[in-house]
Amino acid sequence: MGTIVHQFPVKNDTTGKISVNHSFVVPVYAVETVISSKDVVPYSEKTLAVFSQFLKSDAVISSEDQLLKETAKSITKGSVYQKARQIFDYIVDNYTVLQEVSTGDVSFLSAIETKTADAYDLSMLYTALCRASGIICIPVSGVLIDANLQAKNHWWCEFYLENIGWIPVDPSLSAGLQYEPFHSSGKTDSSYYFGNLDSQHVAFSRGWNQIKQTNLVGKTVYRPKTYALQSIWEETSTAVQSYSSFWSNVYVTGVY
Backbone angles phi, psi at 53, to 5 degrees: -65, -25
Q: Please report, as a single letter, which amino acid is at residue 179.
A: Y
- What burial letters (b/e) apply to 211-247, b meaning 16+ CB within 10 Å? beeeeeeeeeeeeebbbebbebeebbeeeeeeeeeee
**54-87 per-position pLDDT tens digit:** 999 999 999 899 999 999 999 999 999 999 999 9
Write out the E strands in the chain. 96-97, 116-117, 137-145, 151-161, 165-169, 201-206, 219-221, 234-236
Cα atoms in the Cβ-side hemisphere of radius 13 Å centred on 76: 24
Q: Is the dihedral of CA 85, 40, 34, 48 positive or negative?
A: positive
Give the per-residue pLDDT at 239: 82
Does residue 136 or residue 106 have the better pLDDT?
A: 136
Alpha helices in the chain (DSSP H): 45-50, 66-75, 80-94, 111-114, 119-132, 171-174
185: pLDDT strictly greater than 70: no
CA distance 82 to 89: 10
38 pLDDT more than 90 = no
- Average pLDDT of the segment spanning 235-249: 88
> According to the model, what pLDDT value does residue 47 have?
98
Q: How many CA atoms lie within 13 A of 94 on its CB side?
A: 16
Query: Is the distance from CB of 191 to CB of 214 less than 8 angstroms?
Result: no
Q: Give me the residues paired with residue 209 across strands.
A: 230
pLDDT band at 230 (very low <50, low <70, confident <90, very high): very high
pLDDT at 127 over 90: yes
pLDDT at 186 exceeding the cut of 70: no
Model pLDDT, residue 74: 95
Tens of pLDDT, residue by residue over 90-126, are 999 999 999 999 887 778 888 898 999 999 999 999 9
Mean pLDDT, the chain, whole residue set: 91
**Residue 1: is its pLDDT beyond 90?**
no
3-state secondary structure of 122: helix
**Residue 3, burial from CB neighbour count under 10 angstroms (0-12, 13-18, 19+):** exposed
- What domains lie within the chain, and their CATH numbers? 1-256 (3.10.620.30)
Spatial separation of the C-alpha atoms in residues 240 and 221, rounded to whole Å: 14
